[in-house]
Amino acid sequence: MLRFNSTVLLGLLLVGCQSSAPQFTQTAFAPAIDSATAAYQSGDLQLAEGLWRQLLERDPTLVVGWCHLGHIDFRQHRYDSALTAYQKCLRYKPQQTDIWQNMAVIRLRQASELMIRGSAFLLPSEGVDTNQDYQRLLQSLMLLQRVSQLPSE
């Protein structure tokens, strides 16, 4: 009987410890989230980034924070950082199809930029077909980018 009670007591203590850990929610951060969102919407990306990072220091599972950092990084052409932020956003809420789309658009943008840089090295001696194929691929990438609006909010 004593062994059973101590096992139950230990179990209750462990459950109590897990539930007493501070759980930050979007509700608890509402004023700070509103400030960070307003800074982003007004175009003050530096302030918005700082505010979102402060929030994420307090709660690294704050999905909206990771999503906004991804948007900010994209707008500042920091594509690898944007992808990392979006991946963290999806880790906590994977059903966000708009974030999956944003990641795909970043990959398209990276591919387009590579093609643009490489086009400086196209030589007439490579043949018309090669140059035309290169230009068609670049135009297709650019068209695909226009299909999607980024960042979604």
What does the pLDDT average to over 69-89? 97
pLDDT average, residue stretch 114-141: 87
Out of 29-38, 114-123, 129-138, give the one with best mean pLDDT.
29-38
Residue 102 lies in a domain: yes
Q: What is the mean pLDDT of residues 82-99?
A: 96
DSSP of 89-143, one letter per residue?
HHHH-TT-HHHHHHHHHHHHHHHHHHHHHHHTT--GGG-HHHHHHHHHHHHHHHH
Question: 65, 30, 34: which is closest to 49 by C-alpha?
Answer: 65
Give me the pLDDT at residue 151, please: 54
Peptide bond into 94 cis (omega under 30): no
**Considering the domain boundaries, does residue 5 fall inside one?**
no
* Total of domains in the chain: 1
Burial class (CB in 10 A: 0-12, 13-18, 19+), 77: exposed
- What is the span of the domain harbouring residue 46? 28-147
Residue 120 has a CB neighbour count (10 Å cut-off) of: 6
| Other Cβ atoms closer than 10 A to 58 | 13
According to the model, what pLDDT value does residue 52 have?
97
CATH number at residue 50: 1.25.40.10
- Angle 30-41/63-75 helices, nearest 10 degrees? 20
Q: Is the residue at 57 inside a domain? A: yes
pLDDT of residue 4: 39
pLDDT at position 12 is: 29
User: For residue 5, what pLDDT is reported?
Assistant: 39
The pLDDT of residue 7? 38
